[in-house]
């Protein structure tokens, strides 16, 4: 199901995290903070170029502040004035109700699309055991405050340069999760999903976030209504 409002977002700060990502701290209008599910996205429009899809890196609270991030494609969004906002849009991460163990595989900028889920579930579903398998590049993609609260949750390890798939394999050998989120560039996310399947995690328990389903990403096999989060057994051959 999808809820959306159309209004304005005011950019308070442009966060410098990487050359490939535009990251904004914004304040939303009063009525635009409802019913956002982590993993959904919004559209921001500066009235100069086409609207761009942004991930919710953090969800807005009572102060209506949140962090949004998007891959830089062409000219960055102009942030000098208020932006038109439309959201939330798309399919987010499934809520882990009835789940004891959640494994999150997040690499590169993929961690930006799952950070809000980790934060929300750690706060509101403390009985869920969260395990994060990430790579060194993903930590470099995080805004400073996001990195701090992930450290405070004990989920971030010291950056290492080894293959995250090998660490995923080791984690799966130790303990199978009840639910898996894969948020990484498509080839790596699919390899991680197949590895989970091979170790015995059912396909319907594996969810992959497909950035190619976002508007402007150039996908021809997925529409924005299908994703960006899709169950693995419904994804075969589509990205």
The enclosing domain of 154 has a CATH number of 3.40.50
Residue 94 lies in a domain: no
| Predicted pLDDT at 19 | 80
Question: Over the stretch 60-108, which tens digit does the pLDDT of each residue have?
Answer: 988 899 999 998 776 778 888 889 999 999 999 999 988 999 999 999 8
Give the residues across from 105 on adjacent strands: 133, 182
Q: Treating both helix axes as pointing N-terminal to C-terminal, what angle do 115-124 and 144-152 enclose, rounded to 10 degrees?
A: 40
In this predicted structure, the answer to whether residue 137 has a pLDDT above a threshold of 90 is: no
Domain boundary among 52, 69, 89: 89
Question: Over the stretch 12-37, which tens digit does the pLDDT of each residue have?
Answer: 999 988 788 899 999 998 665 568 99
Residue 96 lies in a domain: no
Residue 84 lies in a domain: yes
Full residue range of the structural domain in which residue 116 is found: 101-234
In this predicted structure, the answer to whether residue 158 has a pLDDT above a threshold of 80 is: no
> Which of 176-180, 199-203, 211-215 comes out lowest in average pLDDT?
211-215
- Same domain for 47 and 116, yes or no, is no
In this predicted structure, the answer to whether residue 224 has a pLDDT above a threshold of 60 is: no
Residue 193 lies in a domain: yes
- Same domain for 79 and 110, yes or no, is no
CB 68 within 8 A of CB 26: yes
- Same domain for 129 and 35, yes or no, is no
- Same domain for 78 and 196, yes or no, is no
- Same domain for 163 and 77, yes or no, is no
List C-alpha distances in Å: 51 to 24, 28, 42, 54, 131. 15, 16, 10, 10, 35
- Same domain for 124 and 200, yes or no, is yes
- Same domain for 10 and 67, yes or no, is yes
- Same domain for 131 and 222, yes or no, is yes
- Same domain for 133 and 218, yes or no, is yes
Q: What's the predicted TM-score (pTM) here?
A: 0.89
- Same domain for 105 and 196, yes or no, is yes
Q: What is the DSSP string of 64-114?
A: -EEEEEEE--SSPPP-SS-EEEEEEESB-PPP-TT-SEEEEEE-GGGGGGT
| Predicted pLDDT at 204 | 96
Residue 95 lies in a domain: no
- Same domain for 199 and 158, yes or no, is yes
- Same domain for 28 and 108, yes or no, is no
CB 2 within 8 A of CB 88: yes
Closest by CA to 210, choosing from 197, 223, 231, 229, is 229
Structural domain total, the chain? 2
What stretches of the chain adopt beta strand conformation (E)? 5-18, 21-28, 41-45, 52-58, 65-71, 83-89, 101-106, 129-134, 179-183, 206-209, 229-231
SS3 226: helix
In this predicted structure, the answer to whether residue 222 has a pLDDT above a threshold of 60 is: no
């Amino acid at each position: 199901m999808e809820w959306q409002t159309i209004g304005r977002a005011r950019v308070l700060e442009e966060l410098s995290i990487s050359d490939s990502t535009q990251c904004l701290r914004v304040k939303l209008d009063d009525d635009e903070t409802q019913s956002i599910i982590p993993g959904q996205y919004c559209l921001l429009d500066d009235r100069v170029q086409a609207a761009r899809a942004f991930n919710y890196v953090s969800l807005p609270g009572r102060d209506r502040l949140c962090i949004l991030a998007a891959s830089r494609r062409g000219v960055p969004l102009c942030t000098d004035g208020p932006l038109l906002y439309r959201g939330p849009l798309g399919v987010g991460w499934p809520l882990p109700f009835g789940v004891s163990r959640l494994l999150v595989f997040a690499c590169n900028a993929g961690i930006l699309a799952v950070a809000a889920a980790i934060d929300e579930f750690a706060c509101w579903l403390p009985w869920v055991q969260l395990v994060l398998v990430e790579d060194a590049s993903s930590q470099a993609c995080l805004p400073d405050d996001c990195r701090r609260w992930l450290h405070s949750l004990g989920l971030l390890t010291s950056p290492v340069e080894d293959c995250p798939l090998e660490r995923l394999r080791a984690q799966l050998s130790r303990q199978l999760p009840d639910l898996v989120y894969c948020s990484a560039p498509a080839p790596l996310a699919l390899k991680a999903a197949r590895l989970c399947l091979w170790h015995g995690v059912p396909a319907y328990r594996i969810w992959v976030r497909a950035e190619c389903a976002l508007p402007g990403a150039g996908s021809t096999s997925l529409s924005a209504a299908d994703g960006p989060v899709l169950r693995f057994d419904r994804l075969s051959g589509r990205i």
